[in-house]
Amino acid sequence: MARMTFASHPFLLGFDQLDRLVERTAKSGNDGYPPYNIEQMDENAYRITLAVAGFSEDDLAITIEDSQLVIRGRQAEDAADRVFLHRGIAARQFQKSFVLADGMEVRNASLENGLLHVDLTRCLPETVVQTVKITRA
């Protein structure tokens, strides 16, 4: 039996790519590290905040790949002469992915007090009305 998805509805033409994005996001394997918040700043502005204590700007990378915002963190290796009696501050590498809708743009990224803020805005396209001429076949 074929798997039914929302994009298979007869009135949703051309939404196959969106269906694949939803499936890819579900399989992305994002765990809970590092913790993050997503805030709506106003009608067309959003902020993603990740708790990245111990990471510097050089340890973090932000890219947009195929309609996905990808945030990666990797700290430099600790000096071999350090001996931890307890190590409770996570310092492992991570990758977080967020699927972006068409028109979403990253405006700014800043690191403040162990929090990485990524600001996004939605650029609304102009409304276009087209008239399609009907011809005889």
Residue in the block written with tokens 């977080």: 96
Model confidence, pTM: 0.73
Is residue 131 assigned to a domain? no
Is residue 137 assigned to a domain? no
Q: Are strands 104-112 and 60-65 parallel, antiparallel or unpaired?
A: unpaired
Query: 55 with 74: CB under 8 angstroms?
Result: no
Q: Looking at the structure, tell me whether residues 50 and 9 fall in a common domain.
A: no
- Least Cα distance to 94 among 38, 137, 51 occurs for 51
Number of structural domains (the chain) is 2
Q: Looking at the structure, tell me whether residues 46 and 106 fall in a common domain.
A: yes
Q: What are the tens digits of pLDDT across the range 20-45?
A: 766 766 665 567 889 999 999 999 99
Is residue 41 assigned to a domain? yes
Q: Looking at the structure, tell me whether residues 118 and 97 fall in a common domain.
A: yes
Q: Looking at the structure, tell me whether residues 71 and 18 fall in a common domain.
A: no
Is residue 128 assigned to a domain? no
Query: What domain range is 111 assigned to?
Result: 32-77+84-122
Q: What are the tens digits of pLDDT across the range 59-94?
A: 999 999 888 899 999 987 766 788 889 988 777 899
CATH of the domain at 102: 2.60.40.790
Q: Looking at the structure, tell me whether residues 10 and 43 fall in a common domain.
A: no
